[in-house]
Amino acid sequence: MEKGRKTEVSRGAGLGILVNALLCAIKFAAGLLTRSVAVMADAANNLGDALAAVVTLLSMRMAQKPDDREHPFGHGRMEYVGGLVVGLLILFVGLELFKSGVEGIFSPKELAFSFVSFVLMGVCALVKLAMYFYYAAIDKRIGSLAMKAVAKDSLSDVLATGSIILSMAVARVFHVKIDGYIGVLAALLVLKAGFDVCRETVDRLLGGKPDRALAQKVEEALLRYEGILGLHDMVLHDYGPGRCVASVHAEVSAEADIVVIHELIDRAEREISERYHLPICIHMDPIITDDVQSNAVKAQIAAFLKTADGRLKLHDFRRVPGEKQENLIFDVVLPPDYKDESALKEKLEAYARELNDRYRCVIHFDRDYFQ
């Protein structure tokens, strides 16, 4: 898997270096012929794209370094760092484009229309569109932020070059100088792409939302094991593409043979790790399944939570009878943006007393990291 990622990114980055260097030369020549500020700035943009491809290639090679004493989880996040550098390069090029566009607005130059340059710019736009689809396909196959970054960069280039072609056509047909304005528009498109890339890579580096699709696959696979009755508190720790570590609580019957269940959990950990290249730690949570009254109260509390907010769930429900009261002990899973825990707790306690005046709630709130 790692070898395949390295091959895909290396091939894509190498092609990006060659294509962008060629496009830079073509646009530079077209800029000299037309005396267009926007075209010259777009040529510089392609030079930046070639540099971004170099950064992508280097970051991928660094990400493939094996584990060592200082980095026991590997160097996979270097791919995110590479994506961030690409985003910063896009922002730098966008700022240069903006500067050139503003200069073109206040000091407009007469464009010398060249049919050859016009056609060349159109060809460049089509090439960058093809590069966008190529990079996007690689990202879809291997899930690479670096490839996603250069794909967005390629798409912004298509829009930027297309706007320049438009300015050339307008200047030719209507004799209106909009070169500088189009340069500013192109700059804003590039800046938007750079900002999106930086935001996504920073989110990953800071520990953004885990991969929900991977979590669902693991949950579905675990629930197929006879003896695992439910799952909760799943967490994915991201150490780079293909380098995740997982933990989850598995609900098992309290009446089951602990040795048999332990063997089942060990087998599940081993098989899930091999199938998804995902080291996983499974914690056993024994639950009582044959207490009719506890199951009935649990169902009532769960239904009440759904009416309060459809995203709320509960787990680890236990009913502990006492001399003067019965404690209902359970965990409530909240979405990340849920704020009013105190009000929810009061509502649950009031509802429990409606069911039975002896009931008292002992509630622990968890967070669902995948919503």
| Winning range, highest mean pLDDT, from 30-44, 87-101, 168-182 | 87-101
The pLDDT assigned to 3 comes to 61
Q: What are the angstrom distances between the C-alpha of 68 and each of 74, 225, 367?
A: 7, 35, 33
The pLDDT assigned to 59 comes to 81
Q: Give the mean model confidence (pLDDT) for residues 217-221.
A: 93
- Res. 287: pLDDT tops 80: yes
Q: Is residue 18 within 8 Å of 131, Cβ to Cβ? A: no
Torsion, CA 140, CA 145, CA 148, CA 152, rounded to 10: 160
Closest CA to 186 of 93, 119, 251: 93
Question: CB neighbours (10 Å) of residue 22?
Answer: 14
- Res. 73: pLDDT tops 70: yes
Q: Give the mean model confidence (pLDDT) for residues 106-123.
A: 72
Q: 83: phi > 0 → left, psi -120 to 50 → alpha, else beta; which?
A: alpha
Question: CB neighbours (10 Å) of residue 72?
Answer: 8
Between 107 and 325, the more confident residue is: 325
Beta strand pairing status for 359-367 and 313-321? unpaired
The pLDDT assigned to 38 comes to 61
As a whole-number percent, the residues of the chain with pLDDT over 90 amount to: 25
The pLDDT assigned to 2 comes to 58
Average pLDDT, the chain: 84
- Res. 113: pLDDT tops 70: no
The pLDDT assigned to 82 comes to 84
Q: Is residue 366 within 8 Å of 232, Cβ to Cβ? A: yes
Residue reference for tokens 């938007």: 192
Domains, in order of start, for the chain: 2-206 (1.20.1510.10), 212-367 (3.30.70.1350)
Question: CB neighbours (10 Å) of residue 259?
Answer: 8
The pLDDT assigned to 273 comes to 92
Q: 140: phi > 0 → left, psi -120 to 50 → alpha, else beta; which?
A: alpha
pLDDT band for 260, please (50, 70, 90 cuts).
Answer: very high
- Res. 19: pLDDT tops 70: yes
Q: What's the number of CA atoms in the CB half-sphere (13 Å) around residue 254?
A: 9
Span 230-243, pLDDT tens digits? 998 898 888 877 67
Instruction: Give the separation between CA 105 and CA 181, rounded to whole angstroms.
Output: 6
Instruction: Give the separation between CA 34 and CA 26, rounded to whole angstroms.
Output: 12
As a whole-number percent, the residues of the chain with pLDDT over 70 amount to: 94
- Please classify residue 80 by burial: count the beta carbons closer than 10 Å to its beta carbon, then call 0-12 exposed, 13-18 middle and 19+ buried: buried
- State the DSSP string of 4-54: HHHHHHHHHHHHHHHHHHHHHHHHHHHHHHHT-HHHHHHHHHHHHHHHHHH
pLDDT band for 110, please (50, 70, 90 cuts).
Answer: low
Q: Is residue 278 within 8 Å of 218, Cβ to Cβ? A: yes
Q: 316: phi > 0 → left, psi -120 to 50 → alpha, else beta; which?
A: left
The pLDDT assigned to 369 comes to 78
Beta strand pairing status for 359-367 and 326-334? parallel
